[in-house]
Amino acid sequence: MRPDSEKMEELQKFNGGKSMSVDYSFLLSQMTLEEKASMCSGSTFWLTQPVERLGIPCVWVSDGPNGLRKEKRSAGLNLMGTSETSTCFPSSATTANSWDVSLMKEIGHAIAGEAKALSVTTVLGPGVNIKRNPLCGRNFEYFSEDPFLSGRMGAAFINGVQSSSIGTSLKHFCANNEEHLRMSIDSVIDERTLREIYLSAFEYIVKTENPETVMCSYNRVNGEYMSENKRILGDILRDEWGYENIIVSDWGAVNDRVLGIKAGLDLEMPANNGVNDKKIVEAVKNGELSEEDLDKCVLRLLKFAFEAKEHECHNKAINLSVNHAVAKKAAVKSAVLLKNENCNLPVDEKEKITVIGALAKYVRYQGAGSAHINPFRTVSFCQTLDGNNIDYTYADGYKIKGTGVDYTLIDEACKAAQNSSRIIVFIGLTDAYESEGYDRTHMKLPESHIELIKRLVEINDNITVVLSGGSPVELYEFKDKVKSILHMYLGGQAAGEAAYDLIFGKENPCGKLAETYPLKYEDNIVSNYFPMGPRSVEYRESIFVGYRYYDSAKKDVAFPFGHGLSYTQFEYSDIKAAHKKDGSVSVTFKIKNTGSRCGEEIAQLYVKAPASKIFKAEKELKGFTKVKLEPGEEKKCEINLDNRAFSYYNVNISGWHVEGGEYTILIGASSRDIRLKTAVRMKDSNPDAVVPDYSGTAPSYYKIGECDIVPDNEFEALYGKKLIGNEPYKKGELTINNSVEQVAVSGFGKAIYAIMKYGAKLVSVTTENPEMSARSAIDIPLRSFNSFTGGFLSQQTVEGILDLCNGKSGGFMKMIKGFRK
């Protein structure tokens, strides 16, 4: 229930008329222990807990990173796609390809405007987890395999939203790099890798943009649930990085609420129906939790609630058409021209074209799950052709749903292609492939799409492929046989219009890949360690993620990190590097547009470290710039590098360390297309620091590419602890954190499993992604039964269920008694 405005007014009068001037300490002193505890969890699925007696307001939070998903109801499970309509912007995997911070700010600003119109004061995004493996089901919601790029894009988005007085939630903190068992899996990562790869983007964003909230992830990291991870939430996020705002749990991520408060987790979402609030009260009363720790959380929550209320407004005058134009611009700037043999694209509007592929009609523009937007308008490629009176022939080629090959549709497509001089084929990952809640099982396109393109390349040699999908796919079956490939990724609601403008040359493609496209899935070192379970996932590849691996291992790839073509050409020249007075290094160079069209170029700066005792990646991205150039125009670019650009994380000193020596500065049009090179000498930032040397204990890391299966003892040497392994769970040792699938080791557990599967099947009729419902139903841990059933299954009932799964007597009575409560 929302606090009424009179109480709010009273309180504001009492506080001098301005909520910003609320005396939080005074307010805190007026609160009972129970009221304090109640504020530490939501009141519904989307609302925080108000305290009406004191006029403390509640806050409405909503997903998500590529548009606003405000549910029409604040409570209950949101299985019906009941969100308000809004603008669907391209997903983060797409906008990352723009490498365009001002574009990200513009998107953030536009989403904030829509949030204001719907009285939402905190937008749950962006997600900046690293794409460790191309198969992670949620990669479409993340930016990149590289932390530098992820950090810059995430920061720009937050800047855009928060400068419009709407809050954000930086998520999912941290090491949530797969959906498989995401609610309980332990991500086992050595400290250096954690710092350099998995925390780095979060660190940059926290320090530069101070997000209003940080959302902790579901998983454990090195043994502890993130929702109670004292080391990462407390020591690193709060103490080291100085973060003072709200830490909120991912929905249902809380394990031990009392430990969570101690670690600094302020807010549990969604509502816990009083169960954990009671535990907080008891813990304070019995001395297990100090009231001071609780007060710290409550003070932050008070500030959060009042500041949000202050910014809440009902600006109904939002102009959605303007936002549609922003979505289109973002799709244009984020598309990547992967291949363009003999300037095959653009197409002349007078040319007779044949369009093949149902995705041209039913555009795939977003992923599934909590980031799923209900767009107010969508425009397909075919609709845009019709709108522009373009004469074309069309054939479906495959069915949009399912993966089965329909040979009749392929035959029809081949017939249409036979005498055509120009074919544009739309293929890609369809809805069932990418979603929150489960990972892909392979990196291939749907079989029906592969069969279609294989047949088409046999009969016509002038083929353009337009790809869609939020993560890499294997392209080796047709890549060399088609003339051009334009990747639209998941282009948001205006994707069809953007594709039209790019294909017909009204716009010049300028996006560059924010992730590597390997030739085959198995080429990725992480394929050896993904998925893992049921207990842990070991990040044995260490820092060798994405191009850090492919480039160090000198593996051929389909398209490298940072790759993207244009309809014009760019020449790079005149590189210089110089130390500046403030200690930074300035790198300057020139870029000239030598072609005949205006275009934008994304230049990337990589640093290659000198030889060291500690293994390092071949090179690392440490800067980039995007320049717009008219034909013949030349511009000077400057990128500044601070000490961090030359550092690795030294576990011996628990800090960042620059080794003295000569570093190579590489300027590239991609990670494999290096155009300029220079060197800069750096002083040792800590001459007393001992550089860790694993060449004796973990030699595989020094021969990456040759030795990709890192043995247990070598990974343990790096990790510094024994691995917990992955023994299957047994009856008798099950806990509340085991998933429905994992408790199916006992007869009763099997029954629960069957019920949940059946329930998911019934529900799936009404959901957009049945597989997501099915997977989510069996991956849910028992600890979430209470909150996800809105309290229908009481804590006691859940404990009874657990006892029964473990074969303990008395479980049945406990379960039944719990129902009566």
Beta carbon of residue 292, minimum distance to ligand BGC (angstroms, whole number)? 30
Residue nearest to ligand BGC (CB): 370
Cα 820 to chain centroid, rounded: 42
Q: Cα angle vertex 385, ends 384, 389, to 5°?
A: 115
Instruction: Tell me, residue by residue from 745 to 784, as one string, x for binding to ligand BGC by CB under 6 A and - for no binding.
Output: ----------------------------------------
- First-to-last alpha carbon distance for the chain, in angstroms, is 23
Beta carbon of residue 306, minimum distance to ligand BGC (angstroms, whole number)? 23
Q: Is the CB of 251 or the CB of 489 nearer to ligand BGC?
A: 251
Beta carbon of residue 124, minimum distance to ligand BGC (angstroms, whole number)? 4
| Strand ranges inside 25-184, DSSP E | 61-63, 85-86, 122-124, 167-173
Most distant CA pair in the chain: distance in Å? 82
Q: Is the CB of 196 or the CB of 250 nearer to ligand BGC?
A: 250
Beta carbon of residue 339, minimum distance to ligand BGC (angstroms, whole number)? 34
Tokens representing 163 are 């400068």
Beta carbon of residue 722, minimum distance to ligand BGC (angstroms, whole number)? 31
Q: Is the CB of 41 or the CB of 647 nearer to ligand BGC?
A: 41
User: Which of helix, strand or coil describes residue 371?
Assistant: coil
Cα 496 to chain centroid, rounded: 24
| 251 lies in the site for ligand BGC, by CB under 6 A | yes
The answer to whether the beta carbons of residues 735 and 802 sit under 8 Å apart is yes
The answer to whether the beta carbons of residues 78 and 370 sit under 8 Å apart is no
What is the rounded distance in angstroms from the CA atom of residue 739 to the CA atom of residue 369? Answer: 19
* Of 309, 281, 292, 311, nearest in space to 40 by CA: 281
Q: Is the CB of 42 or the CB of 511 nearer to ligand BGC?
A: 42
Q: Could you say which DSSP state residue 508 is in?
A: -
Q: Is the CB of 127 or the CB of 692 nearer to ligand BGC?
A: 127
The residues that bridge with 592 in the sheet, in sequence order, are 571, 634
What is the rounded distance in angstroms from the CA atom of residue 736 to the CA atom of residue 276? Answer: 14
Q: Is the CB of 250 or the CB of 474 nearer to ligand BGC?
A: 250
On the 0-12 / 13-18 / 19+ scale of CB atoms within 10 A, 706 is exposed
Number of residues this chain uses to bind ligand BGC (CB under 6 A): 7
Binding to ligand BGC (CB under 6 A): which residues in 78-107? none
Beta carbon of residue 63, minimum distance to ligand BGC (angstroms, whole number)? 5
The answer to whether the beta carbons of residues 373 and 495 sit under 8 Å apart is no
Beta carbon of residue 788, minimum distance to ligand BGC (angstroms, whole number)? 10
* Of 158, 223, 182, nearest in space to 370 by CA: 182
- Exactly one of 100, 250, 277, 497 binds ligand BGC (CB under 6 A); which one? 250
Q: Is the CB of 61 or the CB of 445 nearer to ligand BGC?
A: 61
Q: Is the CB of 63 or the CB of 224 nearer to ligand BGC?
A: 63
250 given a catalytic annotation: yes
Beta carbon of residue 106, minimum distance to ligand BGC (angstroms, whole number)? 22
* DSSP collapsed to 3 states, 388-416: CCCCEEEECCCCCCCCCCCHHHHHHHHHH
Q: Is the CB of 79 or the CB of 459 nearer to ligand BGC?
A: 79
Beta carbon of residue 183, minimum distance to ligand BGC (angstroms, whole number)? 9
The answer to whether the beta carbons of residues 247 and 216 sit under 8 Å apart is yes
- Exactly one of 35, 63, 178, 501 binds ligand BGC (CB under 6 A); which one? 63
- The pair phi, psi for residue 708, each rounded to 5°, is -95, -5
Beta carbon of residue 238, minimum distance to ligand BGC (angstroms, whole number)? 21
Side-chain-side CA neighbours of residue 563 (13 Å): 19
Side-chain-side CA neighbours of residue 56 (13 Å): 27
Beta carbon of residue 642, minimum distance to ligand BGC (angstroms, whole number)? 31
The answer to whether the beta carbons of residues 704 and 549 sit under 8 Å apart is yes
Instruction: Tell me, residue by residue from 203 to 242, as one string, x for binding to ligand BGC by CB under 6 A and - for no binding.
Output: ----------------------------------------
Binding to ligand BGC (CB under 6 A): which residues in 142-181? 171
Chain length of the chain: 821
Q: Is the CB of 168 or the CB of 566 nearer to ligand BGC?
A: 168
Cα 75 to chain centroid, rounded: 25
The answer to whether the beta carbons of residues 625 and 603 sit under 8 Å apart is yes
Cis peptide before 346 (omega within 30 of 0): yes
Q: Is the CB of 124 or the CB of 676 nearer to ligand BGC?
A: 124
Q: Is the CB of 55 or the CB of 167 nearer to ligand BGC?
A: 167
- Distances in Å between the Cα of 113 and the Cα atoms of 81, 161, 162 are 22, 8, 11
What is the rounded distance in angstroms from the CA atom of residue 795 to the CA atom of residue 49? Answer: 20
User: Which of helix, strand or coil describes residue 486?
Assistant: strand
Beta carbon of residue 270, minimum distance to ligand BGC (angstroms, whole number)? 8
Query: Which value, to the nearest 10 degrees, does the dihedral of the CA atoms of residues 721, 722, 728, 734 take?
Result: -60
Please pick, among 63, 100, 250, 551, the residue that the annotation labels catalytic: 250
Instruction: Tell me, residue by residue from 358 to 397, as one string, x for binding to ligand BGC by CB under 6 A and - for no binding.
Output: ------------x---------------------------
Q: What would the DSSP string read from start to end of 707-772?
A: --S--HHHHHHHH-S-----PPP-TTS--TTSBTTTTTTSHHHHHHHHHHHHHHHHHHTTSS-HHH
Active-site residues, by number, are: 250
Binding site for ligand BGC (CB under 6 A): 63-64, 124, 171, 250-251, 370
